[in-house]
Amino acid sequence: MRDAPLFLRPRVEPPLASLLGDAPFLHSLVDALGSPLNVLLPEVVAENAERFGAVYRRHHLAGRVYFAHKANRSSSLVRRLAACDPAAVGVDVASLGELRHALGCGFTGDRVMATGPKDREFLWLAARVGATVNVDSVAELEQLAGLVREYGLRRADVLVRLSGFESQDGTGGAGTRMLSRRSRFGTPVAGTDEVWAALERHADSVDLVGLAYHLDTTGLEEKGRALERCVLLMDECRARGLAPRVVDIGGGFGTGYVEDAGEWERWTTALSEAVLGTRPPLTWGGHGYGLRNEAGTVRGAAALYPAHRPVAGPGYLDELLSRPAPVLGRAPATLLLEHLHDLYVEPGRALVDQCGLSLARVLEVRPLGGGADRYLVRLGMNAGDVSLEEHGVLVDPVLLPRGGPAHEAAHDGPVGVHIVGNLCLEADLITRRLVFLPRLPRVGDLMAFANTAGYVMDFHAHHAQRQPSARTVAVTEEDGTWHWCPDEDYWPLTRLQGVPA
């Protein structure tokens, strides 16, 4: 077992699986549009939004699912979401550019939430179009109120983003103190009096719609505590005469990248062993992904995205809403409903789960010397085009042979390869991991990285060394045939534009 290939095969669900099954179509796309190439499935993002909606309905909750635009730059996903039920789906923009893009994709201002660091122009346009502003600090609130007055804008809807839920008295009535990572965003809960006072002072120009948080953690317990704290703070607002009605719990619902729990467990165990030196390295240069060997003991933390997630996306939201809250004892869904609060969420990665893949052509296959049967595979893409390493996501690419299945027999058996990019740079590794493929690739084959629409395909893409950056296309399946068009030409109409009629 020990020397069995350590696969980390991707989780691929029906529409994406069927697309991966059509190798000739994908080859023809790359032949025409070049390598690397991003492929998006806009229908899937709508289905995912519907899955989040189903969780809302199960708990009788009202409120919107806002797509965190930062997860993907493309137009097709945003346009497809704009065509969803306006009462159920919105978009969360984190820059002036994203706001302009969302408006141009068909979102009306009332379906837009402005988050993140904001400059004056961003604030002005958000207020101008009636977007909800997720306010980070008192200073930002003052700035927004000033703009509304100065330019005679309509009263702006605001959410106040809170942070620092570790309570002052240590336990907050929950018995134990839950530590959280420090965040650079949001107003600490300890300083809310100042926020309420500012809201009252600027009541003519800003209207408190609700309270928000976003915790960078996978921990349900931490998020559940913050959610309950918001419910309690909403009450504090009401007691002061403010009338918030929304609790916005941010995103971070997660995605499962690896299909099989056993593969993930075997690989992570093997990583510890490799760091301890009890088995050969699993990575280029023996990189430990944050783990290190101190006198025979493993120290540090693996900086890896938990690639196999039994509960992720809508399921994670469901679980978060269902587990009893520490102070009031009722499930967060019940608390929200009973207090007549709406729920907002801002999933990014989870909403674009299974929505895309990144393709690259195999340009070179070369044996690595040094005894072991290992190869170097160079692709027509670089690490910026599929930023697995930047996000700690580990998953195997799917090999799509040039010649179709008939050609496959020639090479037999799994082989370990290091996948490198097209930059003249030692560090340009698509993944630091030694990847096992079912057979040795050949020049001209395609490698498909599945499920890359969330943060992976274009978040870190760049123009260094004037290498081509990926084009992006949108595809849909009709009667078993795949159709495509450039991402920028996609509109959510019945037939894809750009398809010859």
Please identify, among the stretches 33-41, 325-333, 364-372, 472-480, the one whose residues bind other proteins according to the rule CB under 8 A. Answer: 325-333
Quote the strand ranges of 136-175, DSSP E: 156-163
Rounded CA-CA distance 434/418 in Å is 5
Amino acid at 255: T
Q: Is 305 in the site for other proteins (CB under 8 A)?
A: yes
Q: Is the dihedral of CA 165, 171, 175, 176 positive or negative?
A: positive
User: Given candidates 240, 279, 323, 391, which one binds other proteins under the rule CB under 8 A?
Assistant: 391
Q: Is 175 in the site for other proteins (CB under 8 A)?
A: yes
- Closer CB to other proteins, residue 292 or residue 366? 292
User: Given candidates 2, 3, 169, 179, which one binds other proteins under the rule CB under 8 A?
Assistant: 179
- Closer CB to other proteins, residue 168 or residue 278? 278
Residue 302 tokens, joined: 């693996």
Please identify, among the stretches 42-50, 93-101, 290-298, 408-416, the one whose residues bind other proteins according to the rule CB under 8 A. Answer: 290-298
Q: Are strands 187-188 and 156-163 parallel, antiparallel or unpaired?
A: parallel
Scan residues 155-174 and list those touching other proteins (CB under 8 A): 170
Q: Is 406 in the site for other proteins (CB under 8 A)?
A: no
Please identify, among the stretches 26-34, 189-197, 210-218, 403-411, the one whose residues bind other proteins according to the rule CB under 8 A. Answer: 210-218
Scan residues 257-276 and list those touching other proteins (CB under 8 A): 261, 265, 268-269, 272-273, 276
Q: Is 256 in the site for other proteins (CB under 8 A)?
A: no
Helices (H), 277-402: 314-322, 332-338, 388-391
Rounded CA-CA distance 198/203 in Å is 8
Reduced to 3 states (helix: H, G, I; strand: E, B; else coil), residue 193 is helix
User: Given candidates 299, 366, 462, 495, which one binds other proteins under the rule CB under 8 A?
Assistant: 299
Amino acid at 244: P
- Closer CB to other proteins, residue 240 or residue 402? 240
Among candidate residues 9, 11, 78, the one with its CA nearest the CA of residue 40: 78
Residue 452 sits at the vertex; the CA angle it makes with 448 and 453, to the nearest 5 degrees, is: 130
Element (DSSP H or E) covering residue 195: helix 192-201
- Whether omega before 36 lies within 30 degrees of 0, making that bond cis, reads yes
- Closer CB to other proteins, residue 7 or residue 305? 305
Phi, psi values for residue 181, rounded to 5°: -60, 140
Q: Is 303 in the site for other proteins (CB under 8 A)?
A: yes
Query: Contact 180/172 with Cβ under 8 angstroms?
Result: no
486, β-bridge pairs: 473
User: Given candidates 92, 98, 157, 222, which one binds other proteins under the rule CB under 8 A?
Assistant: 222
Please identify, among the stretches 38-46, 283-291, 357-365, 461-469, the one whose residues bind other proteins according to the rule CB under 8 A. Answer: 283-291
User: Given candidates 77, 133, 147, 178, which one binds other proteins under the rule CB under 8 A?
Assistant: 178
- Closer CB to other proteins, residue 31 or residue 265? 265
Q: Is 247 in the site for other proteins (CB under 8 A)?
A: no
- Closer CB to other proteins, residue 375 or residue 455? 455
The residue assigned the tokens 């065509």 is 83
- Closer CB to other proteins, residue 126 or residue 350? 350
205, β-bridge pairs: none
Rounded CA-CA distance 112/73 in Å is 16
The residue assigned the tokens 């604030």 is 123
* Binding-residue total with other proteins (CB under 8 A): 61
Rounded CA-CA distance 316/319 in Å is 5
User: Given candidates 100, 330, 442, 460, which one binds other proteins under the rule CB under 8 A?
Assistant: 330
Query: Contact 114/66 with Cβ under 8 angstroms?
Result: no
User: Given candidates 31, 85, 150, 390, which one binds other proteins under the rule CB under 8 A?
Assistant: 390
Q: Which residues contact 440 (CB under 8 A, 6 or more apart)?
A: 365, 375, 411, 415, 417
- Closer CB to other proteins, residue 33 or residue 71? 71
Among candidate residues 163, 159, 126, the one with its CA nearest the CA of residue 141: 159
Scan residues 459-498 and list those touching other proteins (CB under 8 A): none
Please identify, among the stretches 78-86, 356-364, 386-394, 473-481, the one whose residues bind other proteins according to the rule CB under 8 A. Answer: 386-394
Q: Is 88 in the site for other proteins (CB under 8 A)?
A: no
- Closer CB to other proteins, residue 149 or residue 177? 177
- Closer CB to other proteins, residue 291 or residue 447? 291
Can you spell out the DSSP letters for 235-266?
HHHHHTT----EEE---------BS-HHHHHH
- Closer CB to other proteins, residue 181 or residue 463? 181
User: Given candidates 2, 181, 184, 463, which one binds other proteins under the rule CB under 8 A?
Assistant: 181
User: Given candidates 14, 24, 60, 464, which one binds other proteins under the rule CB under 8 A?
Assistant: 60
Phi, psi values for residue 326, rounded to 5°: -65, -35
Smallest separation (angstroms) from other proteins to the CB of 305: 5
Quote the strand ranges of 373-491, DSSP E: 374-379, 398-400, 415-420, 435-437, 446-450, 471-478, 481-486
Which positions touch other proteins (CB under 8 A)? Answer: 60, 62, 170, 175-181, 216-222, 231-232, 234-235, 238-239, 251-252, 254, 261, 265, 268-269, 272-273, 276, 278, 289-291, 295-301, 303-306, 328-330, 334-335, 337-340, 389-392
